[in-house]
Amino acid sequence: MYLFKLQSLLNHRQHQEELLQKQLADARRKLTLEQDRLHRKERQKQEHVHTLHQKQAVGCTVTDSLLYVNYIQQLSRDIEQQRQRVQQAEKKVRRKRRELIEAVKKRKTLEKLKEKGQQAYLEKQMHNERKFMDEIASTRHARRM
């Protein structure tokens, strides 16, 4: 039976990889949420700009126009803040993706090392078995003579 000396390290690396996969999935979900919020705010702004134009075409008071303009300006500021949140979320996704790629590389390196060790172990076992069989055959041959 082959025992890989670094099995505990391999198990740790697999656990780290799983953890990073979950963190990446969470970061992607957060990015999607932030993007959705941005799109909603942009649509909301477009709707209010359109409503303002319609009211101005029909004729509305200056006070109503100012209220709409102020609200649209606030939405513009909110949209800019939301874009910054989206950018931060994108950075986090990229960082988590890089971390996951590194973790996968480290795990695969250990797995290759384990496979080489297993192969060497099997080859040694087969060599010992052939040697044993040769000894039995030579012992039988010596008895016959």
Whether residue 116 lies inside any domain: the answer is no
More confident site: 72 or 143? 72
| pLDDT the model gives residue 70 | 95
The 10s digit of each residue's pLDDT in 84-94 is: 999 999 999 99
Whether residue 136 lies inside any domain: the answer is no
CA of 75: how far to CAs of 16, 42, 82, 86, 92, in Å? 41, 8, 10, 16, 25
Whether residue 60 lies inside any domain: the answer is yes
Whether residue 59 lies inside any domain: the answer is yes
Which CATH number does the domain housing residue 68 bear?
A: 1.10.287.1700
The 10s digit of each residue's pLDDT in 39-53 is: 999 999 999 999 999
Whether residue 119 lies inside any domain: the answer is no
- Whether 142 has a pLDDT exceeding 90, the answer reads no
| pLDDT the model gives residue 143 | 79
Q: Which of 33-37, 63-67, 120-124 has the lowest mean pLDDT?
A: 63-67
More confident site: 60 or 54? 54
Whether residue 121 lies inside any domain: the answer is no
Beta-sheet strands, E only, within 14-123: none
Q: Say how many domains are in the chain.
A: 1
pTM, two decimal places: 0.77
Whether residue 24 lies inside any domain: the answer is yes
In the numeric block, which tokens belong to residue 48?
């209010």
Sign of CA dihedral 15, 16, 20, 21: negative
The 10s digit of each residue's pLDDT in 108-141 is: 999 999 999 999 999 999 999 999 998 988 888 7
Q: Which backbone phi and psi does 121 adopt, to 5 degrees?
A: -60, -45
Whether residue 50 lies inside any domain: the answer is yes
Residue-range definition of the domain harbouring residue 59: 7-110
